[in-house]
Amino acid sequence: MCPPPPVSPADTFITTWVEPVLSPDGGRIAFVWQRGAPASYYTWTRDLVVAPASDPSHPTFTWQTWYVLPDGRIATAVAKPTWLGPTTVRFLASYERVFKVKGGGSERLTDTATDVYALLDLNLTTDIAGVVRGADSTIAYAPVATGGLWLVKSSDSTRLLFLAPGADSAVAVATFSGSVVDLANVGGVPVALLANGGTVEWIDLAAGTAGQISAPTPIRRIVPVPGTRRFVAEARVERPTRGCSACRKTYRSTRNTSYRAWVQAVIPKPRTRYSALKKRPAIVRNTKE
């Protein structure tokens, strides 16, 4: 599932595969297929793909991620897919905006920004997707082992919500110290990646404690290690640009930035008191924690 590196610094849109997630039985894998240039100029050239885990190059299901939400907004991207069962994949529906960046005497498509709209369920049998009830405007989510979901919505990106099974709306349960861009359930504890890209914060609702970890490098995704209080984070790494010798000479000061390094962290034992129902920063008061 690892695409090759760019053949030159100007090749910023290559065919790539992202967001892989194994099915509950481990027999299938769902991932997002982003086609390379010139197809990448168009938002409808991205698909959610399901394939055998032993042979991901031969998909058994594809779903174009260009989708019109019930309120008329257009979603063009899929983020954080998860399996609900053998026939349903849940994901965040998003809109990806492509920016043109000029540099080096030529115009290149080099950067994107994503607006997350809602949480959707896709039925792999009927090919029908629908917004999860009570989860419109969700920008981050994590399943709760006892049922329901932890959510963060765009209306208040610092507030942690709980959506009970079958409920029409979510209720506030805690507040993080900053805007949340990713959320995970780590050993029954909601853990958030904050918008500064380098801070991971958790709130232990049962113990009434909170804490933070500051990463030495920006990260963009946190994933729990099942059955533990550990999680792994996808960290940004920079390496010299690859390609022909002429390209390396021309772009010798350029760095190829990618999120391919994974680091592991652990939530320490709870020691910091925190009132989950009050709006105040969830900070570590014991600096030795």
pLDDT tens for 122-162 read 999 999 999 999 999 999 999 999 899 999 999 999 999 99
**Predicted local confidence at residue 132, as pLDDT:** 96
Q: Which residues pair with 231 in a beta bridge?
A: 224, 265
Asked whether residue 200 carries a pLDDT value surpassing 90, the answer given is yes
Residues in the chain: 289
Domain residue ranges of the chain, discontinuous segments joined by +: 1-136, 139-289
Q: Which of 94, 119, 111 is nearest to 32 (CA)?
A: 94
**Predicted local confidence at residue 286, as pLDDT:** 34
The model's confidence at residue 226, banded by pLDDT at 50, 70 and 90, is: confident
What's CA 289's distance to the chain center, in Å?
27
The single-letter code of the amino acid at 201 is E
**DSSP-assigned states of every residue in 86-116:** TTEEEEEEEEEEEEEEEETTEEEEEEEEEEE
% residues pLDDT > 90 (the chain): 43
Contacts of 55 (CB under 8 A, 6+ apart): none
CA 229 – CA 222 distance, rounded (Å): 13
The CB density around residue 33, as the number of other CB atoms within 10 Å, is 19
CA 7 – CA 141 distance, rounded (Å): 36
User: How is the chain split among helix, strand and coil, in percent rounded to 5?
Assistant: 5, 55, 40
**Predicted local confidence at residue 198, as pLDDT:** 83
Eight-state DSSP code of residue 245: H
Which range of 54-58, 247-251, 259-263 scores highest in mean pLDDT? It is: 54-58
pLDDT in tens, 32-53: 887 665 544 555 567 899 999 9
The model's confidence at residue 269, banded by pLDDT at 50, 70 and 90, is: low
The model's confidence at residue 96, banded by pLDDT at 50, 70 and 90, is: confident
What's CA 87's distance to the chain center, in Å?
21
Instruction: Kindly report the pTM of this predicted structure.
Output: 0.76
CA 7 – CA 19 distance, rounded (Å): 23
Which range of 10-24, 48-62, 227-241 scores highest in mean pLDDT? It is: 48-62
Q: Which residues pair with 186 in a beta bridge?
A: 189
**Predicted local confidence at residue 33, as pLDDT:** 84
**DSSP-assigned states of every residue in 63-76:** EE--EE-TTS-EE-
Contacts of 112 (CB under 8 A, 6+ apart): 96, 97, 98, 99
Q: Which helix (H) or strand (E) holds 239?
A: strand 230-240
The model's confidence at residue 219, banded by pLDDT at 50, 70 and 90, is: confident
> What pairing do the DSSP bridges indicate for beta strands 28-34 and 46-52?
antiparallel
Q: Residue 72 phi/psi, 5° resolution?
A: 95, -10
CA 173 – CA 67 distance, rounded (Å): 32
CA 34 – CA 18 distance, rounded (Å): 8
CA 151 – CA 144 distance, rounded (Å): 10
As a whole number, mean pLDDT of residues 183-201 equals 92
Left, alpha or beta for 38 (phi > 0: left; psi -120 to 50: alpha)?
A: alpha
CA 111 – CA 98 distance, rounded (Å): 6
**Predicted local confidence at residue 185, as pLDDT:** 96
**Predicted local confidence at residue 245, as pLDDT:** 43
Whether the CB-CB separation of 83 and 95 falls below 8 Å is answered with no
The CB density around residue 160, as the number of other CB atoms within 10 Å, is 24
